[in-house]
Amino acid sequence: MTVSKFILDVQVKLNRLDTSSYEDVRPEEIVFFANDSMKSLTLTFDMGVYSQLLDKLAIKTYLGSLDAIEPEFSITGNKFPLNAKVFKFKDMEAYVTVGSESGWMDTRFLNNSLNSTRESNIFQRSFPDSPIYRVIDNKVKFEVNGFNVTKARYEYLKYPEEIVEGGTLTFPFISELEDKTVTLILENLEGRRLGSQPQVART
């Protein structure tokens, strides 16, 4: 399917809801929300959540095309630059050194939310046998205390191919992509309308 046909299909679905309200949605807006929809659907599929109407093998093949491995590499200061291709880390191992002992260990991801109880919570502390990493300032940083991380290796999901006007779509979930795009557009338009109303009208 061409992206032009995809845009037309999305416009048709929007117009079925309310022609007068959605006729001014521009093609570039549809492409913008389609890219957000692709990212959202990709993450959902990667978690194994998708309609029974979709071909399971086709979805796995699609995800396989985005799967990549970064082989072992050395790091300094317990951190390394984030690869711009990384959409989602699927698995990461760290080479930990504690005194005279060293070895590859599984890691845990910790979000950047502030948490005053992190140090006292054993489930959120970083240990040599399961070091924690966070993504800060486009760097992957391991939290260390009494140990060092000198090497890393990981498997990741690459960003989905960008949808552009004039391109083509060969995904096995075009209908789902259209529906998700329509949903995001509706949420955005309704949010803008609500934001433009006087405060008294929203109570």
Q: Is the same domain home to 39 and 112? A: no
Summarize pLDDT for 30-44 with one digit per residue, the tens. 999 999 999 999 999
Are 153 and 177 members of one domain? no
Are the beta carbons of 120 and 178 closer than 8 angstroms?
no
Task: Return all residues near 7 (Cβ < 8 A) that are at least 6 apart.
Answer: 27, 30, 31, 165
Query: Does 122 reside within a domain?
Result: yes
Domain range spanning residue 29? 3-54+173-202
pTM for this prediction: 0.82
Beta strands (DSSP E) in 15-137 are 67-74, 79-81, 86-98, 101-106, 108-109, 132-136
Q: Tens digits of per-residue pLDDT, 139-197?
A: 999 999 899 999 999 999 999 999 999 999 999 999 999 999 999 999 988 755 544 44
Does 91 share its domain with 133?
yes
Residue 184: inside a domain: yes
Is there a single domain that holds both residue 35 and residue 76?
no
Taking residues 51-69, report their average pLDDT. 93
Residues 72 and 147 in one domain: yes
Distance CA 177, CA 170 (A): 12
DSSP string, 6-32: HHHHHHHHHHHHHHHHHTT--HHHHHH
Residue 72 covered by a domain: yes
In three-state secondary structure terms, 127 is strand
pLDDT tens digits, residue range 93-149?
Answer: 999 999 999 999 999 998 766 555 556 666 778 899 999 999 999 999 999 989 999
Domains in the chain: how many in total?
A: 2
| Average pLDDT estimate for 61-70 | 96
Q: Are residues 116 and 185 part of one domain?
A: no
Same domain, 102 and 154: yes
Asked whether residue 61 is domain-assigned, the answer is no
Separation between Cα atoms, residue 165 and residue 157, nearest integer Å: 24
pLDDT at site 20: 62
Residues 134 and 110 in one domain: yes
Q: Percent of the chain beyond pLDDT 90?
A: 75
**Pairwise pLDDT comparison (18 vs 83), residue with the higher score:** 83
Rounded to the nearest integer, the mean pLDDT of the chain is: 88
Handedness of CA 34, 82, 85, 155 (dihedral sign): negative
